[in-house]
Amino acid sequence: MIIAIPDDYQGLVPRLDCFSRLAGHDVRVLREPIRDTAALAGRLQEAEVIVPIRERTRFTRELIARLPRLKLIAQTGRSVNHIDVSACTERGIAVIAGSHSSPHTVAEHTWALVLATLRRIPEETRLMREGRWRGTFSVGLHGRTLGVFGCGTIGSLVAGIGRSFGMRVLVWGRERSLERARAAGYDIASGRAELFAQSDVLSLHVRLSDATRGVVTAVDLARMKPDALLVNTARAELIVPGALAEALERGRPGAAAVDVYEEEPVLNGDHPLLAMDNAMCTPHSAWLEKRTMELYFGEAFDQVAAFAKGAPSKLVNPEALSGR
C-alpha cells in the first residue's frame, strides 16, 4: 500500500524502531508543512493510508474529497477532532484512533521550562561559553504559589511535582478538576481572577475545545504579578491571539515559557515571542520523547498492518467499512 506520513517536520519518524513495521509498503514521509488544501491534496492524492502526526493537519471535508484512493486514516494519539469523520464515513474511509497519551512527558517538559526560566539556565550556559560569569539573581520555588488551570491528568502531575518542591498549589478549572484538587488537598481558587492574581507560576492544562478557545484573556494576564511566570504546554489557542505578547510587553506577567503556537511549525524566527527576552520558547517538543513516539507510531503502524490483513480494530467509524 501507499502510506503517507505528513508533517514530519523534524524528520524523526523514519528514525523510530517501529518504522520497520511498514517494510514492504511504499511509505512517503512528507517533511515540509503544507497549508494550502489543493497543494496538500496533490501530495496526498495517491495515498491509500495516511498516518497523521497528532493534529498537525486538519482533514477537512474538502481535503478528503480530493483523496480518491484513501482507505484508512490511522491516527497517532486519541484525538480525531481534526478529522471530519462524517466525510470519511460517507466515502468509506476508515478512521482509527490511538489509545496512547503522553501526560508524563508533557508534565516533565512543563517543569523543565519552569526551572530553566526561573533559574536562568540558558543564559548561564551562554555566558559561560562566552567566558563570562552571571551576576544576577535567580528565583526559587519553595514557599511560592503554583497555579494550575485545569487539574486533569497532566495538571495533576504538574501539581504533584510542585508540591514536592514545597509550593502551595492553587487550582481552578471545571468541577471535575476541583474535585481532584480537593481530594489531593490542594487549595481551590475562588475564581479565575484569584488564580491569575495569586500565582507565582501559572501553568495551563485545559483541554482545547470551542468552549475553551480564548479562555485566557488580556484581563486575566493583567492580573498577574510582575514577577510571575506563565507556562503553556497545552494549546496556544487557549490564549486570545496576541494577548500574551502584549501582556509581556506591559510586564504582567513578568515572563512566559511556551511550547505551543497558533501556526506550527514556527520557521525563520517568525513569532513575536521569539523576539522577547522574557519569553522562553520550545518547538512543541513536550511529547517528542523517544519511548512516547515509539508507542504512538508503533500502535498506528500495527493498525495499518491489521487493516491490510482485513482485521482492523479501534475503528472510530466502523460503518465506513460496510459502506465501502
Active site residue 249: no
Active site residue 46: no
In angstroms, the CA 315 to CA 232 distance is 32
Please state, rounded to an integer, the average pLDDT across all residues of the chain: 96
Residue-range definition of the domain harbouring residue 112: 103-281
pTM of the model: 0.92
DSSP 103-123: HHHHHHHHHHHHHHHHTTHHH
256/110 same-domain check: yes
Q: What single-letter amino acid sits at 9?
A: Y
| Pick from 50-59, 90-99, 128-137, 190-199: least confident | 128-137
As for how many domains the chain has, the answer is 2
143/68 same-domain check: no
136/269 same-domain check: yes
Radius of gyration of the chain (CA): 22
Active site residue 132: no
pLDDT per residue as tens digits for the range 24-80: 999 999 999 998 999 999 999 999 999 999 999 999 999 999 999 999 999 999 999
pLDDT per residue as tens digits for the range 133-170: 988 899 999 999 999 999 999 999 999 999 999 999 99
Find the catalytic residue in 235, 252, 271, 299: 235
91/109 same-domain check: no
277/300 same-domain check: no
**SS3 of residue 141 by DSSP:** coil
In angstroms, the CA 40 to CA 30 distance is 10
Instruction: Please say if the pLDDT value at position 108 is more than 80.
Output: yes
197/233 same-domain check: yes
Residue 20 is predicted with a pLDDT of 97
Vertex 33 angle, CA 75 and 92, to 5° = 35
DSSP state of 29: E
| CB burial string 21-50: b at 16+ within 10 A, e below | bbeebebebbeeebeeeeebbeebeebbbb
Residue 139 is predicted with a pLDDT of 96
238/310 same-domain check: no
CATH of the domain at 294: 3.40.50.720
125/83 same-domain check: no
251/305 same-domain check: no
Residue 323 is predicted with a pLDDT of 59
22/83 same-domain check: yes
Instruction: Please say if the pLDDT value at position 324 is more than 70.
Output: no
Find the catalytic residue in 120, 252, 284, 299: 284
315/259 same-domain check: no
Q: What single-letter amino acid sits at 76?
A: T
pLDDT per residue as tens digits for the range 111-120: 999 999 999 9
Cα–Cα separations (whole angstroms), residue 277 to 18, 56, 227, 255? 40, 28, 14, 9
182/255 same-domain check: yes
The dihedral of CA 259, 10, 274, 282: what is its sign? positive
pLDDT per residue as tens digits for the range 199-229: 999 999 999 999 999 999 999 999 999 999 9
Residue 218 is predicted with a pLDDT of 98
